[in-house]
Structure 1
Amino acid sequence: MNRSIVFATNNAHKLEEIRQIMPNNLEVLSLKDIGCDVDIPETGTTLEENALIKAQYVLEHYGLACFADDTGLEVAALNNEPGVYSARYAGGVGHDSEANMAKLLAKLADNTHREARFRTVIALVAPKENTLGITQPLLFEGVVTGNIATQKQGNEGFGYDPLFVPDGYDKTFAELGANIKNQISHRARAVGKLVDYLKR
């Protein structure tokens, strides 16, 4: 019997990434799939809070098991900016990746300390009666460390991928492509922990 779970996103890139990693017997639904067209406000000050806000919203309004993620790029030389504000770093509405990357490069300028990490936190919630064995909200974290390149490189991926060079590689996420990124990324690591839990 196929079980289903909602991933609280309408980001097609994220959805595709997650569906490739999830077990085959678990159907992953998007917000659009359940008829939710609300842009759930991310009012938390931490990744953990934002992930929980999104997951709890779906549980409260639709009564469905749900997981949500929030991801931040934390640059050591910038006191872990942009962090929880990664998607809105350059201000304005929406997620303007080009403007965000331009701001990050400008703030780092010729700084030689370019250590950074991507961190994803996933929150998982479910109704009282559920087949997933969930009795309280659960959090799963994935981290990948690396460095910020001095200029954009590569065309794949999304967000800050053209700037982030993971440790052990000499190419950005955007150059490495989805197959490699999905094996080593922060989101892959957090989802891996989520999948391990669901498989149990």
Structure 2
Amino acid sequence: MSKKKVVLATRNKGKVLEFNERFGEIGWEIVPLPEDAPEVIEDGLTFEENASKKARSAAFFCGLPALSDDSGLEVDALNGAPGVFSARYAGEHATDEQNNQKLLQALRHIPEQERSARFVCALAFVDCTRKSQVAQPLIVRGTCAGRIVDIPRGKNGFGYDPLLFIPELGKTIAEMTIEEKHRISHRGEAIRHMIDLIRTEHE
């Protein structure tokens, strides 16, 4: 039986490989976004809005069903910031270190035990042959909760990984192995939820 081809709204080969490993179990072949696909302005107010926008764009450009994710960090003491601005928290072309330093500066007067936070991943699926999904994509959310530490810890990962401490494991995301991170990651949880939803849709 041939696999269902689904485009992932990214050119990141590592992410395509990760999604292929997971969605292969339901008979999907995940392919990357073509190089000539238009850039999508991520101006949504939520992760779900951005993920849906990117999935719709990829689906109509490629003429294939499409998946897209959008993710970031929410800190409760900062009313959910940096949120959808996570990648550009310290400026449009900010580095991970600059974003981390701005976050720590914003939290400098807040005790570590009161710095609850979570990584969030919204994952959207659009099948442009199904009018219902064009109007309302299938959307799921995954989270990975912890708290923000005072000093970056660990050399693995990227972004805010050195700052998000997971109490159950006693380490930051950046101190984890790849296997540990995949088990508890927000993206991994979102993928599991989407696979369950797709299976339910086709029962």
Task: Report the TM-score, using the length of structure 1 for normalisation.
Answer: 0.87
Residue 35 of structure 2 is aligned to residue 26 of structure 1? no
Report the alpha carbon displacement of residue 110 of structure 1 after superposing the two structures with TM: 4.5
Instruction: Determine if contact 1:54/1:68 at 8 Å carries over to the other structure.
Output: yes
1:48 aligns with: 48
1:147 aligns with: 147
**Aligned partner letter, 1:96:** T
The structure-2 alpha-carbon separation of the partners of 1:173 and 1:22, relative to structure 1 and needing over 3 Å to count, comes to farther
* More displaced stretch, 186-195 vs 9-18: 9-18
1:64 aligns with: 64
Aligned positions of 1:155-170 closer than 5 A = 155-170=155-170
**Aligned partner letter, 1:98:** E
Between Structure 1 and Structure 2, the one with more helix by share is 2
For 1:5 and 1:118, locate their aligned partners in 2 and report how far apart those are by CA, in whole Å. Answer: 25
Q: Percent identity among equivalent residues? A: 38
For 2:24 and 2:133, locate their aligned partners in 1 and report how far apart those are by CA, in whole Å. Answer: 17
Residue 113 of structure 2 is aligned to residue 111 of structure 1? no
Residue 176 of structure 2 is aligned to residue 176 of structure 1? yes
1:8 aligns with: 9
Question: Runs of at least 4 residues of structure 1 off by over 4 A?
Answer: 133-136
CA RMSD of aligned residues (A): 2.3
Stretches of structure 1 lacking an aligned partner (at least 5 in a row) = none
Task: Report the TM-score, using the length of structure 2 for normalisation.
Answer: 0.86
The structure-2 alpha-carbon separation of the partners of 1:21 and 1:97, relative to structure 1 and needing over 3 Å to count, comes to farther
For 2:97 and 2:21, locate their aligned partners in 1 and report how far apart those are by CA, in whole Å. Answer: 26
Instruction: Determine if contact 1:144/1:186 at 8 Å carries over to the other structure.
Output: yes
The structure-2 alpha-carbon separation of the partners of 1:106 and 1:6, relative to structure 1 and needing over 3 Å to count, comes to same
For 2:68 and 2:88, locate their aligned partners in 1 and report how far apart those are by CA, in whole Å. Answer: 18
For 1:111 and 1:118, locate their aligned partners in 2 and report how far apart those are by CA, in whole Å. Answer: 19
For 1:84 and 1:134, locate their aligned partners in 2 and report how far apart those are by CA, in whole Å. Answer: 23
For 1:96 and 1:22, locate their aligned partners in 2 and report how far apart those are by CA, in whole Å. Answer: 32
For 1:167 and 1:96, locate their aligned partners in 2 and report how far apart those are by CA, in whole Å. Answer: 27
For 1:81 and 1:138, locate their aligned partners in 2 and report how far apart those are by CA, in whole Å. Answer: 25
Report the alpha carbon displacement of residue 199 of structure 1 after superposing the two structures with TM: 4.2
Stretches of structure 2 lacking an aligned partner (at least 5 in a row) = none
